[in-house]
């Protein structure tokens, strides 16, 4: 049982594959276009992308994630990719230099496109805070500056398995897996 994923980000595949594997699914990257619109919500972004890929003989998923920082009114949110490429973790820390409320939420939205052409959306979110210094070398993106609630570690200080106990993406992926398990044909 294979699920295709349209992404250029290998870290996502590494995180999601072991979760889907426990449900009996193999996650396979596919060279499909991920058409990205601008929108305030990740759900809209993945839903649009899913509508604009063809239905295939296997289920296809698209995942989009974003870091929403309270003191910045939700920035970078859906612009996280561009903001990471431009100002990075260092730039975010600079923007928050005098800020004491460092609350942030990481969100993940997954769109599933079934072989019959239906689209389903699954979401996950993890509350946490932006640290004052980058910590850790694991993971990717904003992992060194995001510390989820309930731990003193940043995502980047965790192993992949440990990140999956806390992460926004793991929560959305489990919802996806549970839905797939109820679909008789896949």
- Work out the angle between the directed axes of helices 168-182 and 10-22 (0-180°, nearest 10): 50
In the shown chain, the binding pattern of residues 65 to 104 toward ligand ITT, with x for contact by CB under 6 A and - for none, equals x--------------xx--x--------------------
Q: 31, 40, 57, 64: which is the annotated catalytic residue?
A: 64
Site membership for ligand ITT, residue 48 (CB under 6 A): no
Q: What is the smallest separation between the CB atom of 82 and Na ion, expressed in angstroms?
A: 9
Give residue for tokens 């609350």: 103
Residues 117-156 within binding reach of ligand ITT (CB under 6 A): 139-143, 155
**Active site includes 31?**
no
Binding site for Na ion (CB under 5 A): 81
Closest residue to bound Na ion by CB: 81
- Number of residues near ligand ITT (by CB under 6 A): 19
Q: Which residues bind ligand ITT (CB under 6 A)?
A: 7-9, 12, 34, 63-65, 80-81, 84, 139-143, 155, 167, 169
């Amino acid at each position: 049982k294979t699920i295709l994923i349209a992404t250029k980000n290998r870290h996502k595949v590494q995180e999601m594959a072991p979760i889907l594997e426990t449900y009996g699914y193999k996650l396979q990257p596919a060279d499909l276009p991920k058409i990205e619109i601008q929108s305030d919500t990740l759900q809209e972004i993945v839903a649009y992308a899913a509508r604009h890929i063809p239905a295939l003989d296997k289920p296809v998923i698209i995942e989009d994630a974003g870091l929403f920082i309270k003191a910045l009114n939700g920035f970078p949110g859906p612009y996280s990719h561009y903001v990471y490429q431009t100002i990075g973790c260092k730039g975010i820390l600079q923007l928050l230099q005098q800020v004491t409320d460092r609350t942030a939420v990481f969100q993940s939205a997954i769109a599933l496109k079934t072989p019959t052409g239906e689209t389903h959306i699954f979401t996950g979110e993890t509350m946490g805070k932006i640290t004052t210094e980058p910590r850790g070398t694991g993971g990717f993106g904003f992992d060194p500056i995001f510390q989820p609630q309930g731990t003193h570690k940043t995502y980047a200080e965790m192993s992949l398995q440990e990140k999956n106990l806390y992460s926004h993406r793991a929560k959305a992926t489990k919802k996806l897996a549970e839905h797939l398990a109820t679909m008789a044909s896949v």
